[in-house]
Amino acid sequence: MKLTAIFIATAFIAAPTFAAEKSTLRIGVQTSGTLDWELSVLPESPDFQIQMQPVATAEAAKIALQSGAVDMIVSDFLWVSQTRNMGAEFTFYPYSNTSGALVVPANSTIHDIKDLAGKRLGIAGGELDKNWLLLQAAGKKQNVDLNTTVEKVFGAPPLINEQLKNQRVDAVLTYWHFAAQLETQGYRQLLDGKELQQDLGIAENVPTLGYVFKQSWADNHKTALKSFFVATAQAKNRLCDDAELWKKTTVKMESASVVLRQRYCDGRVNLWTNTNQKAAQQLYSVLFSLNPKVGNSANLAAGTFWTAE
């Protein structure tokens, strides 16, 4: 009996202890996006490590996520709701309040949405791009049917910017960082996503862009995921508070300007509450009424937004 007790005690003392293994988060990062900026300055964490997987476009990122090649991408909650209605289990956590913007030449006669009628409009994305739907909804409030009164040119953001520079279009509706680059080159931003939402009567901030991942994967990596979201918020703050770090991190950008930094920092998500989520539902209902192809119903699919509880 005594020998057994001694053996158990000795075994307990001698047993080695192992640190918990970090979770690897495989993230699809667009080559023309901004996510890699903050991932490059993430603080060290005992809970996770990052594996970045470059993807060429937003569509390529979605394919990578759906195929299981990556665990997480940045996309919009409209797509998340669509896929959930088709049986997928993707869910959304906010990444940025900054979305697209409407940009015109400095000397343009376009000063309001109504002025777009009869003009050529370059649109980054496709017919269901959230910025295009927002602009149409805002136009509808002013009794302007932009879908029938403007000449639409769809394309990738770099191509759309070039169309504007070569005067092949009169205005562009593009992603925020491409809009900021145009501003740096002397173009004028007329409206951004936040202003369009306000025009539709939505007072609360609705971050349309967010991290997207599978619910089951999140359930199995909850600690790592929560730590990651804390770390990304810290990384954003570091980039916004430290001008030298910003300059060093964005050195590959053609014009990592004051405007670009301002737009990036304005996009920080400080609140994500039930009130913001209800505002997202309100926005979704408006967009659905404009184009039913947005989803299967006027309501967001249950589980569209991820909660850590």
Interval 256-289: pLDDT, tens: 578 888 889 999 998 899 999 999 999 999 888 8
> Structurally, how many domains does the chain consist of?
2
Q: Are residues 150 and 85 in the same domain?
A: no
What's the confidence (pLDDT) of residue 10?
Answer: 38
What tokens does 200 get? 């539709």
pTM of the predicted model as reported, rounded to 2 decimal places: 0.86
Residue-number span of the structural domain to which 45 is assigned: 23-97+207-294
Q: Are residues 181 and 125 in the same domain?
A: yes
Q: In angstroms, what CA-CA distances link 42 with 72, 102, 225, 253? A: 16, 32, 13, 19
pLDDT digits (tens, 9 = 90+) for 200-253: 889 888 998 999 999 999 999 999 999 999 999 999 999 999 999 988 888 766
Is 277 inside any structural domain? yes
Report the alpha-carbon angle 240-245-248, nearest 5: 125
Using alpha carbons only, how large is the chain's radius of gyration in Å? 23
Pairing of strands 120-124, 151-155: parallel
Q: Are residues 70 and 84 in the same domain?
A: yes
Q: What is the dihedral of CA 260, 262, 265, 271, to 10 degrees?
A: -130
Of 65, 173, 66, the C-alpha closest to 113 is: 173
pLDDT digits (tens, 9 = 90+) for 80-98: 999 999 999 999 999 998 8
Three-class SS state of 125 = coil
